[in-house]
Amino acid sequence: MEHHRREPLEVAILGFLMQGPLHGYDLHRRVEDELGRIWTIGLSNLYGALKRLEKAGQITCTLTPQESRPPRKVYTITPAGRDIFLDWVQHPVPAMRKVRIEFLAKLYFHRTLNLEGTAALIAAQEAICRERIAWLEQSAAQCAPHDFARLVFDFRRRQVQAILDWLAACRQEADEADGGTSDIRADGVTSACATRPSRSQCSARSAARPR
């Protein structure tokens, strides 16, 4: 699958719908409440993404009647959407600038959905960071001692090293938590959240873990 071409917002929507059907406003509220520390998403962007996902067959939309109000659109993930999400969430991000949003979102869903493979995801991201550090060190070594470019390469190397140090702490935490089983069922809904009418169960579970 072409996981590297997925739009992060669209796949994040699929991740929330893995926990059960949601209407647009509740979906936007969940994104703000649970990923607001790393992501700011406008309602117009979210509804645009929902339309694209529906057109692509990755979600479905049904109308739920409301008394004295227009019908409410409720969105549900499809098997195709589930496959796309599970492929995306297991792969590292290729660019360092994507770590602060997209990779953090992947870690969030690993925790919230109790997915397997968290340690492998972190290890793969560490490998990408080490490759980047090696390239930056090689580039810096080719510069003259007082070349400004050398300072730039060193600055970027230190940034990536900081990410690598943070990933090591994440990996240690994942190793300590290893041994749990995935709650993902064949129909793409987490068992802990399958019967909840709202976001409370999954939110409470994710809030209990440090972010």
Helices and strands (H and E) in the chain: how many: 8, 3
At 175 the pLDDT is 77
Compute the chain's Rg from CA coordinates. 20
Mean pLDDT, the chain, as a whole number? 83
Specify the pTM: 0.78
At 178 the pLDDT is 66
Distance of CA 65 to the CA centre of its chain: 32
Average pLDDT for 117-144 = 96
Best-predicted range by mean pLDDT (60-64, 128-132, 171-175): 128-132
**Tens digit of pLDDT for each residue in 6-28?**
788 999 999 999 999 999 989 99
d(CA 103, CA 95): 10
Helix/strand/coil for 190? strand
Residue 200 predicted with pLDDT over 50: no
Residue 191 predicted with pLDDT over 50: no
Architecture of the 1-115+183-211 domain:
Orthogonal Bundle (1.10)
DSSP-derived letter for residue 143 is S
Q: Could you tell me the CA-to-CA distances from 153 to 141, 158, 163, 167, 171 in Å, in that order?
A: 9, 9, 15, 21, 27
d(CA 105, CA 99): 9
Domain boundaries, the chain: 1-115+183-211, 117-180
**Tens digit of pLDDT for each residue in 92-113?**
999 999 999 999 999 999 999 9
Residue 182 predicted with pLDDT over 60: no
d(CA 191, CA 183): 6
